[in-house]
Chain A
Amino acid sequence: MFVGLDVGGTNTDAVLMDGAELLNKIKVSTTSDVTAGLVAALEQLLRGIDANAISGVMLGTTHFTNALLEQKGLSQTAVVRLCLPATQLLPPLVDWPNDLKNAIGGFTYMVEGGHEFDGREISPLNFDELKRISNDMRRKGIESVAVTGVFSPVNPTHEQQAFDFFQEELPHIDVTLSHENGRVGILERENAATLNACLRSVGRQSICSIKEAMSLLGLKAKLYLSQNDGTLMDETFAARLPVLAISSGPTNSMRGAAYLSGLKDCIVVDVGGTTTDVGALVNGFPREASLAVNIAGVRTNFRMPDVQSIALGGGSIVYPEEMRIGPESVGFELNNRALVFGGDTITTTDVAAVVGLVRFENSNQLTSLDPSICQKWIDLIKYNIEELVDRMKLNTGPVPVVLVGGGNIIVTEDLKGASEVKRPEHGEVANAIGAAIAQIGGQVEKVFSLDKIDRLQAVEEIKSEAMRRAVTAGARMDTVEVVEIDEIPLTYLPGNVTLIRAKAVGDLYSSSGTTPDL
């Protein structure tokens, strides 16, 4: 059996699963004392269950995003770029918000090293300079360092050499290498590595407090964290790359929706209390965004799901005089502010109750609302959702749509452009289920000259590297498959130069439900 947890800003959702079967689910308020809150939630979820029967705890959390937004507990971080004499006009942290830059210390260095697009060295790595930098970092009390080499996704040698050097010189400092968490696009990849570097100690602490909660309950299960691409990382990996846990929420919801509905290619509409996220599942995984993603004001090129959001949810306030819905929401106060619960605010949930989309015991509070006008509101909600669904589609044909999230009752099932609309049972905890069923993945990208190497051979090479990485990350060899291959031709270059990217995923568990030895 395993536990899926989704710790959001307002709610913590938890599910207990045995293979494909959902045994228990709860939704509680998130508390400021993380450990105490988790202990309470897990106690309630696991009442009457033998702790030894739990083999894995999978956690999706917004904690790291919040640490960045609140600038709490961030490590004093140095950023080292291996690039000279190239790529120096725009130094590290160039477009960062000043307050965040100050919060992490803002120490930057540029040193000779890095590679060209075809893997040649720009210059040999300058170890004398690295020595000088380590001394400076020691003096400044740096706790964590992010190292970025030009074209390290193509050739990571210099980053790895810098890693070994810093480990030797400054054994107590955390070292993050950019090629481990990003793709081509130096500013964005370096930013991601730096965000990761400054989150290292927050990451360790969160993992510690969860482990503490688990040990208080006698849980000896392995702990995994959800990544934003829909796969899991084990606690050791997560402690090294906490940044990958950022924004795993929408991904978990979509993966949970796929699981509950049995669909691998569909549009998922996740209606929360305040917002609705719409995303597309392709082969069981969220389609990734092609544009740069901002995290706490910092531009990154993360593997983020391509999600369109609007301020519309089950708690959105309805304004009859102005003929509009939201963007204000009663949020977590729905249970006392909505009309149907005896409050004085008209919400989308009230409107849905009037037209019969949902039933509550005490609906005589709603007699003041005109059903024909409420129907118009419901049509407006439907129209908004249809627009988002249409934007997420990749072609004109109708696609299946899955409705999940706590507020999904405000959306009717007759959506235009949908071949079918599913509203699976337990959809309100789709995010926790998504965490619980996530797989382990490996991703790799490399530039090939297809005049020198056969395309199929290049693709095979990159596929086996992605599979190898998935296995290294903890996936079971016999379940690993390649789920994504991407070829991006580099224009203006001779020799058919192409960047090929592959992603492989596999299950953590064998069918018997035992954990592998990692």
Chain B
Amino acid sequence: MWLLTEEHLEPISIGAGILGTGGGGNPYIGRLRARQLIRKHGPIKVLDVDELPSDSRVICVGGIGAPTVGIEKVRDLQSFHALRAIEEYTGEKATALISNEIGGSNSLEPLIAASMSGLPVVDADGMGRAFPEFQMKTFFVHGASYYPLAVSDEKGNTVVIPEVISPKWAERLARASTIQMGCVACYAVTPMSAIQVKETAVLKTLSLVYQIGQAVLLARDKQENPVEAILNAHPGQVLFRGKITDVARRTSEGWARGSVIIEGMDSFIGSEMKIDFQNENLVAHLNGDPVCMVPDLICIVETDRGEPITTELLRYGFRVTVLGFLSPYLWTGEKGLAVVGPRAFGYDLDYFPLGKE
């Protein structure tokens, strides 16, 4: 068990930005919200999965909406209201909370509900990175239930979805409610047991993003190489280093799609990397050949400062390093790949793990 204080928030948001693989939105507001509540209610308890009592009831909470709306109509305590609603509906009291998504600003959402309820959060999440939709969680792929679920807005409205035929349908129905609610809702899903969390969650990710962020801050402080510091905190691979020479964007069906071209520098001189994104970075091609793809993580950071760059901020001239990390194993089986593999995002590619082909 450790206590999450105000000092942890900056490193967590940097680490969460890196594992956000280009998506997950701007963490500035999430950080301020968590800070506001920690100042009021004190630090938040973080439990290792092994510390969960066997009769635990763990509830997953997360934000759902549009990031562009969230910077104008800032989220309040929606995740807390959704938590209370699902407790009431199921008649079960939560004993701990868990993050749906450790990448990007959603990583901080359970902290809001935890601070309000006094409950601990589990050091784990349902993606080990960022993905755009509700159904894309290791919990559901590995058998944890995705219903009933509650969706709450900031006005006091809550929708409970008692039954739904698939996680994808849960996404559709929750999304439709969210839009009517004005696009900054939160959801809470029916409780999981301690065993379920152990078997279906990506473990130790909250402490991981903290360690990654802390390593970056320390390296900046000592004027050391922040990219090396990231890799020391979380083993992975430098896929490429260079300068962004082109960014092409288009929007279709509500997605920010596009690709970025990076021209090699240093040991990569003469080579070119192209990364396709759809909110998150999906596939990286080196000189035309795919070298890293979802669900493996493709993270673009500023070479000098190790600062994660979200896809909306990609711009010509940035000096960047592209890092690749192996996906949590929970994604790389047949069932996982069906939900978040390259084909699930429309690529005619068979997944192979980073470094294997």
Chain A neighbourhood of B263, CB < 8 A: 396
Selected contact of A85 from candidates B67, B156, B179, CB within 8 Å:
B156
Instruction: Evaluate contact between A187 and B245: CB separation under 8 angstroms.
Output: no
Q: CA A117 – CA B65 in complex, angstroms? A: 12
Chain B neighbourhood of A151, CB < 8 A: 72-73
Instruction: Evaluate contact between A494 and B254: CB separation under 8 angstroms.
Output: yes
Q: A457 at the A/B interface (Cβ < 8 Å)? A: no
Please give 16 more A-B residue pairs, beta carbons under 8 A apart, in addition to A184-B72, A395-B245, A491-B255.
A86-B154, A87-B154, A89-B74, A90-B74, A114-B73, A150-B73, A184-B68, A290-B313, A291-B313, A292-B28, A393-B317, A395-B246, A491-B256, A491-B279, A493-B254, A494-B179
Instruction: Evaluate contact between B254 and A491: CB separation under 8 angstroms.
Output: yes
Closest to B249 in A: A489
Selected contact of A489 from candidates B69, B112, B251, CB within 8 Å:
B251
* B6 nearest CB across to chain A (Å): 13
Interface size on B, residues (CB 8 A): 42
Q: CA A499 – CA B69 in complex, angstroms? A: 11
* A389 nearest CB across to chain B (Å): 10
Chain B neighbourhood of A290, CB < 8 A: 313, 315
A residues with CB within 8 A of B: 83, 85-90, 94-95, 114, 116-117, 120, 122-123, 150-151, 184-187, 290-292, 390-396, 488-494, 496, 498-499
Chain A neighbourhood of B72, CB < 8 A: 117, 150-151, 184-186
Closest to B251 in A: A489
Chain B neighbourhood of A123, CB < 8 A: 155
Chain B neighbourhood of A396, CB < 8 A: 245, 263
Known interface pairs A117-B69, A184-B72, A491-B256. Does A86 touch B29 (Cβ–Cβ under 8 Å)?
Answer: no
Q: CA A395 – CA B28 in complex, angstroms? A: 29
* B200 nearest CB across to chain A (Å): 25
Which residues 68-94 of B have a CB within 8 angstroms of A? Answer: 68-69, 71-77
Known interface pairs A85-B155, A390-B317, A396-B245. Does A490 touch B66 (Cβ–Cβ under 8 Å)?
Answer: yes
Q: CA A122 – CA B75 in complex, angstroms? A: 14
Closest to B245 in A: A396
Q: CA A488 – CA B69 in complex, angstroms? A: 12
Instruction: Evaluate contact between B182 and A89: CB separation under 8 angstroms.
Output: no
Known interface pairs A184-B72, A187-B74, A393-B316. Does A90 touch B29 (Cβ–Cβ under 8 Å)?
Answer: yes
Instruction: Evaluate contact between A488 and B246: CB separation under 8 angstroms.
Output: no
Chain B neighbourhood of A493, CB < 8 A: 66, 179, 183, 254
Q: CA A88 – CA B179 in complex, angstroms? A: 20
Q: B36 at the A/B interface (Cβ < 8 Å)? A: yes
Q: CA A94 – CA B254 in complex, angstroms? A: 32
B residues with CB within 8 A of A: 28-29, 32-33, 36-37, 65-69, 71-77, 112, 132, 154-156, 175, 179, 182-184, 243, 245-246, 251, 254-256, 263, 279, 313, 315-318
List 13 A–B pairs whose Cβ atoms lie within 8 Å, in order of A's numbering.
A83-B73, A85-B156, A89-B36, A89-B75, A90-B29, A94-B32, A117-B66, A186-B73, A396-B263, A488-B68, A491-B68, A492-B175, A493-B179
Instruction: Evaluate contact between A89 and B66: CB separation under 8 angstroms.
Output: no
Instruction: Evaluate contact between B71 and A491: CB separation under 8 angstroms.
Output: no
Selected contact of B33 from candidates A89, A489, A499, CB within 8 Å:
A89
Known interface pairs A491-B256, A493-B179. Does A394 touch B316 (Cβ–Cβ under 8 Å)?
Answer: yes
Chain B neighbourhood of A87, CB < 8 A: 73-74, 76, 154
Known interface pairs A393-B316, A393-B317, A492-B254. Does A117 touch B32 (Cβ–Cβ under 8 Å)?
Answer: no
Chain B neighbourhood of A83, CB < 8 A: 73
Chain B neighbourhood of A291, CB < 8 A: 313
Selected contact of A392 from candidates B77, B255, B317, CB within 8 Å:
B317
Closest to A394 in B: B316
Instruction: Evaluate contact between B182 and A117: CB separation under 8 angstroms.
Output: yes
Chain B neighbourhood of A88, CB < 8 A: 76
Q: CA A116 – CA B154 in complex, angstroms? A: 12
* A404 nearest CB across to chain B (Å): 21
Closest to A301 in B: B71
Which of A83, A150, A292, A490 gathers most chain B CB within 10 Å? A490
Instruction: Evaluate contact between B68 and A499: CB separation under 8 angstroms.
Output: yes
Instruction: Evaluate contact between B317 and A391: CB separation under 8 angstroms.
Output: yes
Closest to A185 in B: B71
Chain B neighbourhood of A391, CB < 8 A: 317-318
Instruction: Evaluate contact between B65 and A86: CB separation under 8 angstroms.
Output: no
Closest to B37 in A: A89
Q: CA A151 – CA B211 in complex, angstroms? A: 37
5 tightest A-B CB contacts, nearest first = A489-B251, A116-B182, A492-B66, A89-B76, A391-B317
Chain B neighbourhood of A489, CB < 8 A: 251, 256
Selected contact of A186 from candidates B28, B71, B279, CB within 8 Å:
B71
Q: CA A116 – CA B180 in complex, angstroms? A: 10
